[in-house]
Amino acid sequence: MSAHVEEVRLNLGHIELAAHLFGPADGVPVIALHGWLDNANSFALLAPQLKGLRIVALDLAGHGYSEHRPAGAGYTLADYAHDVLRVAEQLGWQRFGLIGHSLGAIISVQLAGALPDRVSHLLLIDGVIPPTSGEQDAAERLGMALHAQLRLDGKRKTVYASIEDGVEARMKGLVAVSREAAELLAQRGLMPVPGGYSWRSDSRLTLPSPVRISEAQAMAFVHRLKCPACLVVAAEGMLVRHTALLEQLPFEQVTLPGGHHLHLNDPQGATLVADCINRFFGFS
């Protein structure tokens, strides 16, 4: 695949999303979904190494150059899945593949499980199902989320004196990334504000979810999949310790060296993941 990338904007009616477009026009249609608080540059090292794919790498709503949801709205998995489906509809893609990392992998599983006839391939990078909870925690979780929403009104985003300060903050984030990864994410994520720079992402993305489904509900999406599926497990990532979950998954798994952002942290990791994806799509 050529390293050429095209910047596009997709007006879905209810929201406008930004995206990167890679690959030949007649390639296998694929939508790529990044992780929480990342953006389309999550695939900047990976996508140019893929073969035979027409990839639309989205900035998910509230991330990167995409619009934020309206006041009073939230960021549920169902809303993200609806956005992705609208993108496919706008592109005229009746069937399409999904490549998802972390949150993007979770969204991919939910959409492919909900509408199994629409998804042709499912490639997941260190993510499968959302955090789950028992029904006994439902009321407490909603209360916690409501309090957090009220507190958010009085909070201001962190302003960094320089781009370098913002990059270093991302390197030390909840999920640490390499400097190269942080710099790539900052290209679409940092914006100038009075006094310096701030991350573009919607502050509501940091709010706790008011509702969590049970593990049985989450696995129902997995068991409804019809398409070929492959999970890339990062050897030093977030899934490797969840052996009970991994043993339940009815599809191919490949463990590769690296952390949660193994496809972005360095060129070597991106190449390993790209080789896996090319083989999975039949272009090795």
Q: Name the band, by pLDDT with cuts 50, 70 and 90, for residue 153.
A: confident
Q: Name the band, by pLDDT with cuts 50, 70 and 90, for residue 155.
A: confident
Q: What domains can you pick out in the chain, each with its CATH number?
A: 5-133+214-280 (3.40.50.1820)
| Amino acid 3: pLDDT | 66
Provide the mean pLDDT of the chain: 96
| Amino acid 284: pLDDT | 80
Tens of pLDDT, residues 168-188: 999 998 899 999 999 999 999
Residue 244, class by beta-carbon neighbours within 10 Å (0-12 exposed, 13-18 middle, 19+ buried)?
exposed
Which residues 6+ apart lie within 8 Å of 224 measured at CB?
113, 114, 116
| Amino acid 1: pLDDT | 47
What gap in Å lies between CA 184 and CA 165, rounded to an integer?
14
Query: Active-site residue 209, yes or no?
Result: no
| Amino acid 2: pLDDT | 47
Among candidates 232, 223, 238, which has minimal Cα distance to 269? 232
From the list 2, 42, 66, 102, the catalytic residue is 102
Of 87-91, 134-138, 229-233, 249-253, give the lowest mean pLDDT range. 134-138
